[in-house]
Structure 1
């Protein structure tokens, strides 16, 4: 089965949460026969005030997850698909063909971590609704994940995110009119037109390349890109990514 794990932050019932999910398994899901969902809810010992995990507890929580993963790797009838951290809890989600066996083995895996209280809940979920509707990111969340990957690559190259530099953006539209509407809104906010084409292959043949000058710290660049992303959606367009230079100043 495919493994492509990533995480993203979000709000669940107006409370901060963090999701770690296997994106790769989406192409195979729902997997025939894996119709039962087992959730192991672990009650954290020292969560942050906002309900997320603390630095003090980080290593122990990693040990718990490693212990659960070892058990799952030994069981062909169980698939670990993701976890949510929120409200002082960490919920691990598993799809299985045999909920009774899964519950037993997961309980055994928690024995070395006796300081933690936990509970196991089983649901029927043949369509994998929890995976697709709760764990799997929507397009806006996917864009945030892509932003994080770009920022991580830049950081590895020694980039100073506080340095203002040119950032380029690619956006595609179904019509010239929708592109013109988008362009009018962005140029009034300081974005500059770099290039546009009318012959791109696909459902959105009208393209734009824009640029603006900004720092790329997490908050600044994400706010800018999500504004472009949402505006593109309003104009029936598709925001397709960004790039910039490495600045070590």
Structure 2
């Protein structure tokens, strides 16, 4: 089984959940021999209180996650399926086989390993219902792709805080729906790109390309995708994706030409986004 991790955010009961899930188990779950869910929760207040900077907190949590995964995989043969991060807690989720996992030994290791508060529990979940809860729905799958694209841009030197023209590709089933959507989009501050060529298909023969002057920070992109997705659901339309030219930071501009970086961006988008993009 190949790991296939996706990150997205979900709001539940006014709480903001940052969810990382291994969707690589999606087509195989549930695994009969792993019928119990193990939860390990870390209280973040203690770590933040004892750290001098945000970077120290991140470093500590990365080390914690790695050591936890190493111990559980080697001693309990546990399967790491996801984690949830909130303002005050970080919770890791594994599926274990009771014949391999020893609660006493695990808790003894925790006490030796860390001096901050850690809580754990194991409960039956033979249907992997909690894993199903972690999996992204249709809109959240778009958030997963947003995160992949934004992180790829950051890695390549993009200053994601800089505004630029961001293009969105939409498809609709009826010509009258496209006209109605155009009016709603203009009211929301989008520009209809008449000269941009969309790609019709048999199910959605009326494409629409729009743009808006925005930054490409993850919160911004998610907000735009959310409002477009909800608008299209009302007319049985489909959201296809987004793209933009890069805005490099100063050092990156000096080192590389913009033409090269635009080619890199298009290659990244083609690789990690499931729909064809045209500018």
Task: Quickly name the TM-score band, shorter chain normalised.
Answer: 0.7 to 0.9
Matches of 2:6 and 2:22, distance apart in 1: 7
Q: Which one has a larger percent strand, Structure 1 or Structure 2?
A: 1
The aligned residue for residue 173 of structure 2 is 174
Residue 156 of structure 1 and its aligned partner are, at CA, apart by 2.9
The more displaced of 235-244 and 155-164 is 155-164
What is the rounded CA distance, in whole Å, between the counterparts of 2:213 and 2:83 in structure 1?
A: 37
Q: Is the 8 A contact 2:75 2:100 kept in 1?
A: no
1:122 match: 122
Flag the 1:218–1:121 CA change in 2: closer, same or farther, 3 A: closer
How many positions carry a matched residue from both structures? 243
The whole-number CA distance in structure 1 between the counterparts of 2:174 and 2:102 is 52
CA shift at 1:196, angstroms?
A: 4.4
Match of 1:155 in 2: 154
Measured after TM superposition, the shift of residue 3 of structure 1 is 0.6
**Aligned counterparts, 1:37-48, within 5 A:** 37-46=37-46
Equivalence for 2:264? none
Determine if contact 2:173/2:236 at 8 Å carries over to the other structure: yes
From the superposition, tell whether residues 77 and 221 of structure 1 become closer, same or farther in structure 2 (CA, over 3 Å): closer
Q: Give the gaps of 5 or more residues in structure 1.
A: none
Are residues 233 and 27 of structure 1, via their aligned partners in 2, closer, same or farther at CA, if it must alter by over 3 Å? same
Equivalent positions of 1:63-78 (< 5 A) are 63-74=63-74, 77-78=77-78
TM-score normalised to structure 1 length: 0.81
Contact 2:46 2:116 in 1 (8 A): no
Number of the residue aligned with 2:140: 141
| Preserved CA contact (<8 Å) 1:46 1:57 | no
Q: Which moved more, 1:214-223 or 1:79-88?
A: 214-223
Separation in structure 2 between the aligned mates of residue 64 and residue 223 of structure 1, nearest angstrom: 32
Question: Match of 2:126, SS?
Answer: coil
Structure 1 residue 242, shift from structure 2 partner: 0.6
Alignment RMSD (CA, Å): 2.9
Structure with the largest fraction of helix: 2
TM-score, reference length from structure 2: 0.74
Unpaired segments ≥5 residues, structure 2: 251-279
Post-superposition CA distance 1:172-228 (Å, at most 9, x none)? 233334333322321343321333454x14x43432222333333444433323221
Name the residue aligned to 1:61. 61
Do residues 216 (structure 1) and 223 (structure 2) align? no
Q: Deviations over 1:28-62 (max 9, x none)?
A: 2222332211112233343669xxx9544332322
* CA distance 1:83–1:24, shift in 2 (3 Å): same
